[in-house]
Amino acid sequence: MFSELMAPPADPILGLSIKFKADENPNKIDLGPGIYKDEAGNTPVLACVKTAEKLRVDNETTKTYLGSAGSSLFNDKIADLLLGEHDIIKQNRIRTVSTPGGTGALRLAGEFLKTCKAGATIWVSNPTWANHQGVFTAAGLTVKTYPYYDYENKCLDFAAMTEALKQVPAGDAVLLHACCHNPSGMDLNNEQWQQVAELAKEKGFMPVIDIAYQGFGNGLDEDAYGLRLMANTVDELIVCSSCSKNFGLYRERIGGCSIIGKDAASADIIGAVLNRVVRVLYSMPPAHGAAIVETILSSEELSAQWHAELKEMRDRINGTRQLLVEKLAEKGVTQDFSFITRQNGMFSFLGIDQAQVTRLQDEFSIYVVDSSRINVAGISQSNVDYLTESLAKIL
């Protein structure tokens, strides 16, 4: 049986990391994987996380299963983080289950959609996170795309996006990035969110909102604006969230899949179906990461510390965007890169071609995804001059 297997193509980002690690150039720079890094190039464990972990270890009394939905306290805290003081929570219309990371939440959402509607179709932005199509295809969905990014003008192609969404059949799902769009960094503004929400209501498609970077754009509440507006506008909504970035819990694999129903009775059925899907998919979610998050969000002191640490990460990313643009101009680059400062989160397209991406890697040991997407958080005061000098040479 195994002799019939064919090796799949290498994951472009994971393959890039392997090449980076093998590179002996002391000036090498890794701008590929979407992982936050501090000025020293490390992915730190947040101080609030260290405290919460110690409390967890000191007070844990059992290793028994939590149940398919995971920790009810974590689920409630995540719903509060997503929606704030929203009527939906007061009306008991939301059901959240803990998932193995944001990817697990997306896969669960896909499986749930397939359960609701055989042969379901989901529309994703072009471009989108590289794993979206694979996750939803593996869940048995048909994946289609709608226009999103204008590569020539380095901006959101909102007119083309809305025109495409007008053609989406009722009952199809549409994936929307809540903030810090991966890979473009280009987000909808508040007015554009209003138009998309009205389209969802008018056309009857199911919004699926991926919020993997809440707090990395403009702030926790600001980054949830579109999500909350959509929740105000439509009766039913799916939200997939992750604690990997904003809590720095990459290894713990903890996220949440939250589904809003039109009323409490519908939400009860949604919850029962979700638990059944979880049971046959991975049975039970991991507990450690959820315990850390719920401990932080249940403590005023730890929450305040988390807010401060999250702001520090956000400010570093935004400051690095500005620094990159200034340094490129300083190195004599005449091409306009100011679009980088108008984007949010860790990602941006440089807008260079494949030959230039290859030169960056081969000649300068600067590792960038073939699409020219970079992780801004991989840039620091210590490497920005080498980076911009190298870019000036290949432009």
DSSP 120-162: -EEEEEES--HHHHHHHHHTT-EEEEEE-EETTTTEE-HHHHH
Distance, CA of 178 to chain centre:
8
The C-alpha atoms of residue 214 and residue 305 are separated, in whole angstroms, by 16
For the chain, the structural domain boundaries read 11-45+302-394, 65-298
- Is the backbone of residue 248 left (phi > 0), alpha (psi -120 to 50) or beta? left
The rounded distance, in Å, linking the Cα atoms of 306 and 314 is 12
Place of tokens 């994703």: 124
Find out whether 222 and 74 touch, Cβ atoms under 8 Å. Answer: no
SS3 state at 259: strand
Give the model's pLDDT for residue 76. 98
Catalytic machinery residues: 129, 210, 245
What's the burial of 57, exposed, middle or buried (CB within 10 Å: 0-12/13-18/19+)?
exposed
Q: Which residues of the chain have pLDDT under 50?
A: none
Assess whether the region 11-45+302-394 and the region 65-298 belong to the same CATH fold.
Answer: no
Per-residue confidence (pLDDT) for residue 113, from 0 to 100: 98
Q: How far apart are the first and last CA of the chain?
A: 50
Q: What is the pLDDT of residue 17?
A: 85
Cα-based torsion angle of the residue sequence 112, 118, 119, 121 in order, rounded to the nearest 10 degrees: -40
Instruction: Give the CATH number of domain 65-298.
Output: 3.40.640.10
What's the confidence (pLDDT) of residue 179?
A: 98
Instruction: Find out whether 221 and 349 touch, Cβ atoms under 8 Å.
Output: no
Q: Which residue has the tokens 């995540």?
A: 78
- Cα–Cα distance, 16 to 11 (Å, whole number): 8
Q: What CATH number belongs to 11-45+302-394?
A: 3.90.1150.10
CA 59 vs CA 40, 52, 297: distances in Å: 33, 11, 17
What was the pLDDT predicted at 16?
A: 87
Model confidence pLDDT, tens digit, residues 146-198: 999 999 999 999 999 999 999 999 999 999 999 999 999 999 999 999 999 99
Cα Dmax for the chain: 63
Q: Which residues contact 343 (CB under 8 A, 6 or more apart)?
A: 184, 185, 186, 187, 321
* Other Cβ atoms closer than 10 A to 384: 18
Amino acid identity, residue 207? P
Q: What pLDDT score does 119 carry?
A: 92
3-state helix, strand, coil in the chain (%, to 5): 50, 15, 35
Q: What angle do CA 152, 216, 223 make, to 5 degrees?
A: 85
CA separation for the pair 352, 333 (Å, rounded): 13
Q: Are 111 and 99 in contact (CB under 8 A)?
A: no
Angle of CA points 12, 16, 21, to nearest 5°: 155
Task: Determine the Cα–Cα distance for residues 330 and 349; give it in Å rounded to an integer.
Answer: 20
342: burial class by Cβ within 10 Å (0-12, 13-18, 19+)? middle
DSSP state of 96: E
Tokens of 151: 């590569």
Euclidean distance between CA atoms 208 and 258, whole angstroms: 10
DSSP β-ladder status, 373-375 and 121-126:
unpaired
